Amino acid sequence: MSSSIGHVTPQSLSFSEPLALRSGAQLRDYTLVYETYGALNADKSNAVLVCHALNASHHVAGTYEHQPKSEGWWDNLVGPAKPLDTNRFFVIGVNNPGSCFGSTGPMHINPATGKPYGADFPVVTVEDWVDAQARLLDRLGITQLAAVLGGSLGGMQALSWSLRYPDRLRHCIAIATAPNLSAQNIAFNEVARRAIVTDPDFHGGHFYAHGVVPRRGLRVARMIGHITYLSDDVMAAKFGRSMKAEQIGYSTQDIEFQVESYLRYQGDKFSDYFDANTYLLITRALDYFDPAREHGGSLTAAFAGAKAKFQLASFTTDWRFSPARSREILKALVDNRHDVSYAEIDAPHGHDAFLLDDPRYHGVLRARFDLIAKEFGG
Amino acid sequence: MSERKDLELIAEMVPPGSRVLDLGCGTGELLAHLCQHRGCSGYGIEIADENVLACTQRGVNVIQLNLEEGLALFDDRSFDVVLQLDTLQHLRNTEKMLIETARVGRIGIVSFPNFAHLPNRFAIFRGRMPVTKTLPYQWYDTPNIRVGTYADFEVLARKNGLRVLDSFGLKEGRPVRRWPNLMAATAVFKFDRG
């Protein structure tokens, strides 16, 4: 019987050596917040790194004491007897720098100025995050991971791990991801960013000093994002054309349809906890990710040096990170004769499916992790 | 069990160390056998969720793909051997898949139920569609959308300029080399692009 992992406590480590970033800038004196679940085995061969996507964090699984409804974002996958079984694996979740959940981010003090970074927080990339994660593993004494796992932007980090540190992971599991963002995808991100930066409360990114939050921008950014995470079918099933009241109100500004109510609620909730500068940084990291770029546009060339065994999965109704994008990664891996398996799950939920517990999807991941555990006798 | 013997007979046709693509690989049994016992490597292609899971559990590389979409994922001659075992009869684009098999593999190996097998002929003679161990379905619920004979395949291969390197029939786990169009439940062809 699978169960929740129970109460968990975040930890943190500080790094005094600057992190050299792709942009040429450096991140000085930074802190990484992380959580771990399960026990590291004697030869440190059972560690799995879980990389988070846009609005998630190091809190992958379990709950916080005295905080009801504080389940981690991938609690359905990670825990005792769950597909990523914490009785066998030592699972690590790390909050990426630039985020707003504890690791050094734009709301923290810039050692150069003594004021919050705000818009001056250096632009971070997927590769920078992977480098930061690698340093955390150095400190934890883990030289090689059994696997790196991630979905969406987290999947990009998993792929990047296989390219930047080919000897430091045995398996790369990348779900509902892409080798780069399409123009349409960048366009969605740009709309979200414009909503934030044109909010009068944004103050060029230095809103902390004004004691305000660009909530209006954050709300719209979240609404746009949320639409793209769902499929047309799932929206039709969830809301259809149902209305808030029985009678049409003939109003252009009041909420008339349930879908409007839902999106506004999601936007409000998001603007309560998410940082506007973080949203800009993370969407930019998504835009920039393109491992083929430094190989003359050839993804096949990019993956030539990878050594991991790969598991890819996509969802048929995901139009933000469609199966066609996963197949591009698949082709590059096949061209290089790498070990790869690919599951294309016919789930109705759109991009969000990677966070849900479709039995076919979780079945494949469970089978995969069973095999990985056998390799180290776990 | 004759199925297992069929499998072993076909496995022996695959040169050791081959790079293999198994189209319609089912639960991955043959591919696992080839990897473990003949030093082969490669991928299986499957469309069914339960087979993709079974392959994953077995630890063979499996790619979930609809074969009707072709093999655009794979470059010309990127495999030593392409297997298409008991798969051809389920495909609408039988001829296209045969051409694709010959394109991505140096050698293709195809097997399918031989409709001209004697018991099938008897059934037809009696005015009924055959229901046998190799063709176990009623006519109204069969997943086999193509039925062909050993002799038919020779004609199709010739039409597409394929060179048959070896061919024989199978019956109850034994090769049938004499009058295979009449005596074999299953037809097996090994071919290349000539």
Between CA A253 and CA A259 the distance in angstroms is 14
Q: Is A308 on the interface with B (CB under 8 A)?
A: no
Contacting residues of B for A370, CB less than 8 Å apart: 57
More confident residue, B34 or B8: B34
Mean pLDDT of A217-230: 96
- Using one digit for the tens of pLDDT, what is the confidence trace for A69-124? 999 999 999 999 999 999 999 999 999 999 999 999 999 999 999 999 999 999 99
Q: Is A169 exposed, middle or buried (0-12, 13-18, 19+ CB in 10 A)?
A: buried
Mean pLDDT of A54-71: 95
Which pLDDT score, from 0 to 100, does residue B134 have?
87
Which pLDDT score, from 0 to 100, does residue B54 have?
98
Helix, strand, or coil here: A173? Answer: strand
Say yes or no to pLDDT of B66 above 70.
yes
% of chain A exceeding 70 in pLDDT: 99
Say yes or no to pLDDT of B145 above 90.
no
Contacting residues of B for A342, CB less than 8 Å apart: 62-65
Mean residue pLDDT of chain A comes to 97
Token pair of B128 as six digits: 């009924």
- Give me the interface pTM, i.e. the ipTM: 0.95
Are the C-beta atoms of B3 and B185 separated by less than 8 Å? no
Residues 6+ apart with CB under 8 A from A344: A313, A314, A315, A316, A323, A326, B64, B65
Say yes or no to pLDDT of A220 above 80.
yes
Are the C-beta atoms of A136 and A32 separated by less than 8 Å? yes
Q: Looking at A318, A326, A338, A352, which residue is catalytic?
A: A318
Contact A368 B56 (CB under 8 A): yes
Are the C-beta atoms of A38 and A91 separated by less than 8 Å? yes
Which pLDDT score, from 0 to 100, does residue B5 have?
83
Contacting residues of A for B57, CB less than 8 Å apart: 367, 370-371
Which pLDDT score, from 0 to 100, does residue A1 have?
59
Q: Is A209 exposed, middle or buried (0-12, 13-18, 19+ CB in 10 A)?
A: exposed
Place of tokens 């001659």: B77
Say yes or no to pLDDT of A27 above 70.
yes
Give the chain A residue nearest B59 (alpha carbons).
A371
More confident residue, B7 or B2: B7
Report residue B2's pLDDT band, with 50, 70 and 90 as the boundaries: low
Q: Which of B80, B99, B74 is nearest to B39 (CA)?
A: B80
Q: Looking at A52, A58, A59, A351, which residue is catalytic?
A: A351
Mean residue pLDDT of chain B comes to 94
Report residue B108's pLDDT band, with 50, 70 and 90 as the boundaries: very high
**What is chain A's Cα-based Rg?**
21
Q: Which of A134, A153, A171, A123 is nearest to A24 (CA)?
A: A123
Which pLDDT score, from 0 to 100, does residue B3 have?
73
Give the chain B residue nearest A374 (alpha carbons).
B59
Helix, strand, or coil here: A30? Answer: strand
Contact A340 B55 (CB under 8 A): no
Contact B53 A371 (CB under 8 A): no
Mean pLDDT of A233-252: 94
Q: Is B69 on the interface with A (CB under 8 A)?
A: no
Which pLDDT score, from 0 to 100, does residue B1 have?
35
Between CA B23 and CA A357 the distance in angstroms is 29
Of A281-295, B29-43, B130-144, which range is least confident? Answer: B130-144
